[in-house]
Structure 1
Amino acid sequence: MHYPDLAAYDYLPEEHFTDREPPFGDVSFRPAYARLAVGWLAAGRPYPVGPVPAALTRRLAVIGAVQRVNLCLGYHECDLCPPGQRPPEGNGELRVPGAPGVAYAAPVLIGHYVTGHGYRPPPEFVAAVLAVDVDAWSRSRWPELPFPWIPADAKYWDWTVE
């Protein structure tokens, strides 16, 4: 799937955040904030290339380790990798808080696109990623970690309760 950078993200009308560790559960809600697409690349579509801050990919890895957003059935293989090379797979998305009322929506493969294909995300996104408190994000998870886009009244579904 391709979205131009900073276009309105409208692939899924609801957000689904899933725990990465036990006890497993998730929270679903209809977002009341703007979601802007970043890094939705596709073979045959041009994308910006160039240098990025070294900390960007490290921070994207931490953000990806904390979140499981909009997981789907199956995986997406990078279609930018050359034939004959085993491409990395991804499932799900990342959210990065932007300006008030805005979150950036990126595929989990965005770090690979940066390191493996020279993709240069928009400066607004880079600044937002660099502003994330990765120490706090790596020590906590929702609901202890207050992702700014999850409403306080969102319903948490505990999968361990039958």
Structure 2
Amino acid sequence: MFYEDLSEYDYQDEDAFTDRESGFYALWYRPAYTRLNIGWLEAGRPYSTGTIPTVFVEKLKAVQEVQWMNVCLGVHECDLCPEDEAPEGNGEVRIPGGPGIAYAAPFLITHYVTAHGYRPPQAFIDAVLAIDLDTWAATRWPDVPFPWVPDDVERLLE
């Protein structure tokens, strides 16, 4: 599934977080922020390449350890890899950007960076580097590791 970097995300109307520890509890809401696509790569489509700071990759991996967002029942394989070696992803990542902006990336983004040399836009790199990992990692259900969840969010608690 391909989307241009920094184009407006429109794949799903709502954002949904699932509790990573239980895998069952969830919350979902219609975002009040603009979501911008980052890293939706596809074979045959050009993408930016270049060096990335190691700390960026480490932070992005750490975010993916604590945030489980828009998890789907099916999986998406990396079609940039040979078929028998392609990793799979089934969710997304949300990274807060400037006021009213969140970046929407596929869960395979770290793979794209490390295995295929993908270089996301600098604004996304800066946003990932600005995340306070200690706060995000300490977040426990019913809170989620993303700062812009509205107060009137719907929750599946049982």
TM-score (norm 2): 0.94
Alpha carbons 1:103, 1:149 under 8 Å: kept: no
Looking at structure 1, the residues matched to 136 and 42 of structure 2 have their Cα atoms a distance apart, in angstroms, of 29
Tell me the equivalent position of 2:120. Answer: 121
Conservation of the 8 A alpha-carbon contact between 2:17 and 2:144: no
8 A Cα contact 1:66 1:141, kept in partner: no
Instruction: Output one character per residue of 1:50-73: Cα deviation in whole Å (capped at 9) or x when no partner.
Output: 001111111111111111111112
> How many percent of aligned residue pairs carry the same amino acid?
56
Residue 76 (structure 1) aligns with? 76
Give the CA deviation at 1:155: 2.0
Cα distance change on mapping 1:146 and 1:18 into 2, 3 Å: closer
2:67 is equivalent to residue 67 of structure 1: yes
Q: Is the 8 A contact 2:112 2:118 kept in 1?
A: yes
Give the distance between the partners of 2:42 and 2:145, measured in 1 at CA: 32
Query: Which residue number corresponds to residue 11 of structure 1?
Result: 11
> What are the superposed Cα offsets for residues 84-135 of structure 1, whole Å, 9 maximum, x if unpaired?
x411110100000000111000000000000000000000000000000111
1:107 aligns with 2:131: no
State the TM-score, normalized to the length of structure 1.
Answer: 0.92
In structure 2, how many angstroms separate the alpha carbons of the residues matched to 1:29 and 1:12? 11
The 2-side partners of 1:142 and 1:127 are apart by 27
- Structure 1 unpaired stretches of 5+: none
Contact 2:34 2:100 in 1 (8 A): yes
Query: RMSD of the TM alignment (CA)?
Result: 1.5
- Corresponding position of 1:95: 94
One-letter identity of the residue aligned with 2:107: V
Number of residue pairs the alignment of both structures matches: 158
Determine if contact 1:14/1:31 at 8 Å carries over to the other structure. yes
Q: Which moved more, 1:96-105 or 1:148-157?
A: 148-157
2-structure distance, mates of 1:18, 1:144: 10
Tell me how far apart the structure 1 counterparts of residues 2 and 140 of structure 2 sit (CA, whole Å): 29
5 Å-filtered alignment, 1:38-53, equals 38-53=38-53
